[in-house]
Structure 1
Amino acid sequence: MLSFHYSLRPIITTMKSQLNACLLFERKYILYTKRTYSEKETLESTMVDPKRVVSYDDMLKIIYQPEKMIIDVREPEEIQSTGQIPSSINIPLKSVHEALDCMSEEDFRCLYCREKPALSDELIFYCKTGRRSTIALNQALKLGYVNSKNYLGSWTEWSKKSKLH
Structure 2
Amino acid sequence: MANTGTKEITYEDLKALLGKSQSLFLVDVRTKEEVDKGNIPGSVHIPVDAIETALAMNPEEFKTKYGVNKPPLGAPELVFHCQMGKRGGMATSKAHELGYVNARNFTGGYKEWSEKEGK
Fold similarity call, TM over 0.5: yes
Name the larger-Rg structure.
1
Secondary structure of 2:9's match? Answer: coil
Unaligned ranges ≥5, structure 1: 1-49
Which of 104, 107, 112 does residue 61 from structure 2 map onto? 107
Secondary structure of 1:58's match? Answer: helix
Cα deviation, residue 110, structure 1: 1.5
Which of 115, 121, 131 does residue 86 from structure 2 map onto? 131
More strand by share: 1
In the TM superposition, what whole-angstrom CA distance separates every residue of 1:5-35 from its partner, at most 9, and x where no partner exists? xxxxxxxxxxxxxxxxxxxxxxxxxxxxxxx
Tell me the distance in 1 between the aligned counterparts of 2:24 and 2:68. 11
Tell me the distance in 2 between the aligned counterparts of 1:56 and 1:133. 14
Cα deviation, residue 112, structure 1: 1.4
Secondary structure of 1:87's match? Answer: coil
In the TM superposition, what whole-angstrom CA distance separates every residue of 1:46-95 from its partner, at most 9, and x where no partner exists? xxxx82211111111222323120000001111102x1101110000010
> Cα RMSD between the aligned structures?
1.4
Runs of 4+ in 1 over 6 A off after TM superposition: none
Secondary structure of 1:71's match? Answer: strand
Q: Which amino acid aligns with 2:103?
A: S
Aligned residues: 113
- What are the within-5 Å matches in structure 2 for residues 14-163 of structure 1? 51-64=6-19, 65-81=21-37, 83-101=38-56, 103-121=57-75, 122-163=77-118
Tell me the distance in 1 between the aligned counterparts of 2:63 and 2:22. 15
Cα deviation, residue 118, structure 1: 0.7
For normalisation by structure 1, the TM-score amounts to 0.65
Higher RCO structure (Cα 8 Å, ≥6 apart): 2
Tell me the distance in 2 between the aligned counterparts of 1:51 and 1:98. 24
Secondary structure of 1:51's match? Answer: coil
Unaligned ranges ≥5, structure 2: none
More helix by share: 2
